[in-house]
């Protein structure tokens, strides 16, 4: 197997002349120092969830140790401070996503919750029989099933932007798919199964030319690139904290204020009302209208720490580094005898999906686990993508900014070993 670096150290950071200091970054993540099966952990399951830097762990621990209180309700010191901390993260999230107002940021449980909120709050009241919702063939189930739930109720239809063998969207028929019946386009920014980066700007522009709103599922994009929702022009953007070095159980929905204001509440309960009586209820303004009940306050605080952490990164340098590791991985994994790469898009980030001839993907995962390597095997909650390639499952190595070429080498060697066992 021959592998070679695709960028020189100088090319990595042309603006500063300094390379990305991955060893320093790795020191921020305590779990990366542990062993699994007596081997150093090689964590390549970042598309499922990322690891957490110490600053995020500390922020959550500090909150529960010294600051815990419910928010928006108390006049006492702790409640006021917890409320301020929670609302500060909303402002941080606004800046992080380039939104114009912090009331356009709704705290949710994650991407799945954000999409369901839009399906129930935005689409359900507007959808009529015969209407259409346009998704793509590359979507995660979270960006398919919520639309099916509401369209099933209303007699509406899901239409699908097709994909090519390389795992890229085919936009040739987009202007036909976008028609007077289309009520919403819901599109992933980055495919979790293949790593394809979709041309979301173009899709937004073409949908908006027909006044059709666009939701972007950004779950797999935010840990790998800067996001500016105004530049993208989208109407909704969804993300999960745990996929961007933050805690589980917390995420964000960005929505244009005008649309959020026109939306029905998703769930009823405390904190989302202006006035309740048995005769009727009026609702709080956005974003509170969509945050019924006690939220995940500690999670939001942890998400704030994750946003701060990403804020320390020079994205040009990080993206060049990640792209170099990905190119190296594509070459190294692709060079293993019997490997078939699944998804070879031009514009791709952080994911290598593959099959190893003669070995079921699950067995590949189990074998490399013996060497302390965590990869994901299965359908990756993207069964239409698996169906397209005629496979039930793939093995998937997915990368974050703390992964290294040495780790790629460990995986490639383990795959070579697996091949020998099964020959």
Choice between 232 and 410, CB closer to ligand PLP: 232
Tell me the C-alpha to C-alpha distance, in Å, between residue 159 and each of 54, 136, 179, 214, 263.
44, 8, 11, 14, 23
Contact with ligand PLP (CB under 6 A) among 13, 46, 111, 198: 111
Centroid of chain to Cα 228: 15
Residues in region 126-165 near ligand PLP by CB under 6 A: 140, 142-143
219 touches ligand PLP by CB under 6 A: yes
CA dihedral 363, 365, 371, 373 (to 10 degrees): 180
Residues in region 340-379 near ligand PLP by CB under 6 A: none
Catalytic residue among 381, 383, 391, 405: 381
The SS3 call for residue 74 is coil
196 touches ligand PLP by CB under 6 A: no
Choice between 50 and 182, CB closer to ligand PLP: 50
Residue 61 CB contacts under 8 Å (≥ 6 apart), including other chains: none
Q: Is the preceding peptide bond at 82 cis, omega within 30 degrees of 0?
A: no
46 touches ligand PLP by CB under 6 A: no
List the x/- string, 384-413, binding to ligand PLP by CB under 6 A: ------------------------------
112 touches ligand PLP by CB under 6 A: yes
Distance from C-alpha of 317 to C-alpha of 122, rounded to nearest angstrom: 38
Q: Please, what is the minimum distance in Å from the beta carbon of residue 239 to ligand PLP?
A: 8
Contact with ligand PLP (CB under 6 A) among 46, 182, 196, 220: 220
List the x/- string, 176-195, binding to ligand PLP by CB under 6 A: ------------x---x---
Contact with ligand PLP (CB under 6 A) among 13, 46, 198, 240: 240
CA dihedral 14, 15, 16, 21 (to 10 degrees): -60
Residue 152 CB contacts under 8 Å (≥ 6 apart), including other chains: none
Consecutive H or E run containing 57? helix 54-62
Consecutive H or E run containing 149? helix 145-154
Which one of the spans 9-17, 104-112, 327-335, 394-402 is the region binding ligand PLP (CB under 6 A)? Answer: 104-112
Choice between 222 and 412, CB closer to ligand PLP: 222
Residue 381 appears among annotated catalytic residues: yes
Give me the residues paired with residue 190 across strands. 197
Q: Please, what is the minimum distance in Å from the beta carbon of residue 417 to ligand PLP?
A: 28
Place of tokens 């972007």: 216
Residues in region 322-341 near ligand PLP by CB under 6 A: none
Q: Please, what is the minimum distance in Å from the beta carbon of residue 83 to ligand PLP?
A: 25
Binding-site size, ligand PLP (CB under 6 A): 14
**Residue 241: CA atoms inside 13 Å, Cβ hemisphere, count?**
34
Consecutive H or E run containing 111? helix 111-118
The SS3 call for residue 102 is helix
**Interaction site with ligand PLP (CB under 6 A):** 47, 110-112, 140, 142-143, 188, 192, 217, 219-220, 240, 381
- Catalytic residue numbers, as ranges: 381
């Amino acid at each position: 197997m021959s592998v070679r670096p695709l960028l020189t150290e100088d090319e990595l950071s042309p603006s500063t002349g300094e390379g990305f200091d991955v060893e320093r970054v790795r020191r921020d993540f305590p779990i990366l120092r542990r062993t699994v099966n007596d081997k150093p952990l090689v964590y390549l399951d970042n598309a499922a969830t990322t690891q957490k830097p110490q600053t995020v762990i500390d922020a959550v621990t500090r909150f529960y140790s010294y600051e815990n209180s419910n928010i928006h309700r108390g006049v006492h010191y702790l409640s006021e401070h917890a409320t301020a901390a929670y609302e500060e993260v909303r402002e941080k999230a606004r800046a992080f996503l380039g939104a114009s107002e912090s009331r356009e940021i709704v705290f949710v449980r994650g991407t799945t919750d954000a999409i369901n909120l839009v399906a129930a709050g935005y689409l359900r009241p507007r959808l009529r029989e015969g209407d259409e919702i346009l998704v793509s063939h590359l979507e995660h189930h979270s960006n398919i099933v919520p639309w099916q739930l509401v369209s099933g109720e209303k007699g509406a239809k899901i239409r699908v932007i097709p994909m090519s063998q390389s795992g890229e969207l085919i936009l040739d028929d987009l202007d036909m798919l976008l028609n007077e019946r289309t009520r919403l386009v819901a599109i992933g920014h980055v495919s979790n199964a293949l790593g394809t980066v979709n041309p979301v700007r173009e899709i937004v522009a073409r949908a908006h030319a027909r006044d059709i709103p666009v939701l972007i599922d950004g779950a797999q994009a935010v840990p790998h690139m800067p996001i500016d929702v105004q530049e993208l022009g989208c109407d909704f953007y969804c993300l999960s904290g745990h996929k961007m070095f933050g805690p589980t159980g917390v995420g964000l929905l960005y929505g244009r204020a005008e649309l959020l204001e026109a939306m029905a509440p998703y769930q009823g309960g405390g904190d989302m009302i202006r006035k309740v009586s048995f005769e009727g209820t009026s609702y709080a303004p956005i974003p509170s209208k969509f945050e019924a009940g006690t939220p995940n306050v500690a999670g939001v605080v942890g998400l704030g720490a994750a946003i701060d952490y990403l804020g320390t990164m020079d994205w040009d340098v990080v993206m060049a580094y990640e792209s170099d590791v990905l190119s190296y991985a594509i070459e190294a994994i692709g060079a293993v005898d019997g490997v078939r790469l699944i998804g070879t898009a031009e514009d791709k980030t952080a994911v290598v999906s593959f099959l190893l001839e003669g070995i079921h993907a699950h067995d590949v995962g189990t074998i490399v686990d013996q060497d302390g390597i965590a990869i994901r095997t299965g359908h990756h909650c993207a069964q239409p993508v698996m169906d397209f390639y005629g496979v039930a499952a793939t093995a998937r190595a997915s990368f974050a900014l703390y992964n290294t070429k040495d780790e790629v080498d460990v995986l490639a060697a383990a795959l070579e070993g697996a091949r020998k066992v099964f020959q």
